[in-house]
Copies of this chain bind each other. A is one copy, B any other.
Amino acid sequence: MYRTHNCGELRTANIGETVTLAGWVQYIREKGAMTWIVLRDRYGFTQLMFEEGKTPQDVLDTIKGVGREWVLQTTGKVIERFSKNMELPTGEIEVLADKVVVLNKSAVPPFTIEEETDGGDELRMKYRYLDLRRPTLKRNLELRYKVNRSARNYLDTLGFLDIETPFLIRSTPEGARDFIVPSRMNENQFYALPQSPQTFKQLLMVSGYDRYYQIVKCFRDEDLRADRQPEFSQIDCEMCFVEQEDILQTFEGLFKHIFNDVKGIQMTEAFPRMTFDDAMWHYGNDKPDIRFEMKIQNLKAKNQVHCEALNGVDFKVTNEAESILAIAVPGASEYTRKQTDELTEWVKRPQIGMTGLLFIRCNADGTFKSSVDKFFSEDKLREIAAFSGAQVGDMIFILAGAEARTRKATSELRLEMGNRLGLRNPDVYKPLWVIDFPLFEHDEDENRWVARHHPFTAPKPEQIATMINNDPKIAAGVAFYDHPYNDIKANAYDIVLNGTEIGGGSIRIFQRDLQEKMFAALGMSEEEAKEKFGFLLGAFEYGAPPHGGIAFGFDRLCALLGGQETIRDFIAFPKNNAGRDVMLDAPSAVDDKQLDELKLILKK
């Protein structure tokens, strides 16, 4: 060992001991005859002290050339520090060094290695090994490790088995794009990297392993939106002989366990549950941030008027809009014209895509004033305010237009107002189960059904008949939402934290005929289904048990627990938005020899 102690452990109790430390130079300070060097390692910082006269001359000579990030080994006596630094655990002592060995030198780092750095994103990615020295990244990776360990401990205790599933599997283009891997031994054939271990964990249930988990890498070759990674990690779980309730209970427990272990937060109450339909109705999306209220008020939705006040008003906008949705924003009644103009511009941005913003001031004196006074009497405004549950001092913002776009826009506006009002505190954690997801989603481009979760999710038992007895085809002239498939719900659930989905799962199909019907409903021919998923259909022939599971986005969970928004800083070696590892300079060209062996030719 190059050390007797690490840089985080010496205390006043060690005073008088001779110790050897090793670490990196964080900081050097000279004053008169004195020099101090702060040595850093994973565990902390310890100050070394040198003094002309006291310290051997060769040591003084050695430290003269030393710079930041040099690696030193030092031996000396622990002494009481003259000016104590009570913010550092080791701040009451220092080491009077009488031996120093330079283990390695360092060039001057391209950015500062401190809590906050002056390095830009690309530079930090290129020198990731230096960025990883920064305390903030170190805390993130340590937190990630803690979450990993906490999850394992909980699942271990409940009898879950960690079983590794393969990485070189079969490509089944469906949903996201696969990364594929050419096989040299099987000419012109390819493996695929798994998008998730979904079918394997189901097979393990068929094999009777009962409770499975894995913290595992998954791969998706998608165009990278901000903060997506081509490889990402998942806490992947499956159980058999369970119903939805068992899974919700079990993994609510996992969540509480992790929060307690990692954040010291005891979540004693049961997590609230909300149906998908309610989430859409009240929050405009399937992952509501319930740290604050400000629910969407459905004045009119899908051409159905819910707020009577809209009737008998000669206003084209509200009469013709498919949906009219509102939020009542507390304390906003005194917004200036400038503020309302700015918000109007905000909803008109292409990402939001609305044509305008109506508003009603609920004045302190009990009067109402709106941007549509020409069409709405004050009584009407009062009625709308009452319908919306608005209080004196609120401003009601109203969006009108086509259902889907308006609902999304209102949802975005709600979150934006939440941000502006400081209602989305990252230190407040409000988990939520969203349940009863639709089984199918309508693909507009192809006018067919796609699986909302995945093709292995089971319809609710009472709706199996609806699925089996109806042709999936959407007849000409029939709106997709009038097709019976549109109403079929699944025992599928997401766990949502502070407006972010961090996990989701479902009860699976375990009957061969139902699975075949499902593939057919998704437009897969019998041959195609057999070619892609024959092994699963085969497995369902031999006594598949009822089962279900869940998967958590591990990177995202860690980022949320770390109180940060970007997952990249919770991954040791992430890729940039072009899918590149800037440090390795990967991907890269490969040798012709490699391509020849794989029988591949590049199309330029």
* Contact surface of A with B, Cβ cutoff 8 Å: 1-3, 6, 22-25, 40-43, 69-71, 73, 103-107, 109, 127-130, 132-133, 138, 141-142, 144-145, 148-149, 152, 156, 161-171, 173, 177-186, 188-193, 200, 203-204, 206-211, 217, 219, 221, 223-224, 230-231, 233, 241-243, 246, 510-511, 534-535, 538-546, 571-573, 575, 578-581, 583-591, 593-594, 597-604
Contact = CB atoms under 8 A, between A and B. Distances in A.
Given A208-B24, A600-B602, A544 B167 contact: no
B181 A181 contact: yes
Contacts of A544: 71, 104
A588 to B, nearest CB: 5
Contacts of A152: 149, 152
Nearest to A593: B173
Contacts of A22: 241, 545
- Of listed A166, A169, A217, residue having the most chain B CB within 10 A: A166
Contacts of A103: 545-546
30 contacts: A25-B543, A42-B208, A103-B545, A103-B546, A104-B540, A106-B541, A106-B542, A129-B539, A130-B542, A138-B208, A141-B163, A144-B163, A145-B161, A145-B162, A163-B572, A164-B217, A164-B571, A164-B572, A167-B217, A168-B575, A168-B579, A177-B597, A184-B221, A189-B589, A191-B586, A192-B586, A535-B583, A599-B602, A600-B601, A600-B603
B545 A169 contact: no
Given A163-B145, A580-B186, A546 B2 contact: yes
A594 B179 CA distance: 9
Given A152-B152, A207-B133, A210-B42, A230 B168 contact: yes
A161 B243 CA distance: 36
Given A545-B103, A590-B180, A594-B173, A43 B241 contact: no
Contact of A200 (B233, B572, B589, B594): B572
Given A24-B545, A42-B208, A535-B585, 20 more contacts: A2-B546, A71-B544, A107-B541, A107-B542, A129-B204, A130-B207, A141-B209, A145-B162, A149-B162, A152-B152, A164-B572, A165-B572, A166-B581, A170-B586, A171-B586, A173-B593, A184-B221, A191-B587, A204-B572, A600-B600
A499 to B, nearest CB: 26
Contacts of A510: 104
A588 B129 contact: no
Nearest to A221: B184
B588 A170 contact: yes
A541 B171 CA distance: 42
Given A156-B149, A180-B594, A189 B587 contact: yes
A587 B164 contact: no
B129 A206 contact: yes
Contacts of A246: 1
A25 B181 CA distance: 40
B182 A180 contact: yes
A584 B170 contact: yes
B145 A587 contact: no
B217 A587 contact: no
Nearest to A533: B584
Nearest to A572: B163
B109 A542 contact: yes
Contact of A171 (B2, B6, B594): B594
A546 B376 CA distance: 77
Contacts of A163: 141, 144-145, 572
Report which residue of A71, A224, A545, A584 has the largest number of chain B beta carbons within 10 angstroms of its beta carbon. A584
Nearest to A160: B145
Nearest to A586: B170
B588 A104 contact: no
B572 A170 contact: no
A210 B541 contact: no
A2 to B, nearest CB: 4
Given A164-B233, A602-B600, A584 B169 contact: yes
Contacts of A233: 164
Contacts of A242: 1-2
A188 B604 contact: yes
Contacts of A184: 177, 221
A540 B189 CA distance: 40
A191 B167 CA distance: 15
A349 B429 CA distance: 71
Contact of A241 (B3, B206, B581, B585): B3
Given A129-B539, A603-B599, A210 B43 contact: yes
A161 B142 contact: yes
A331 B206 CA distance: 53
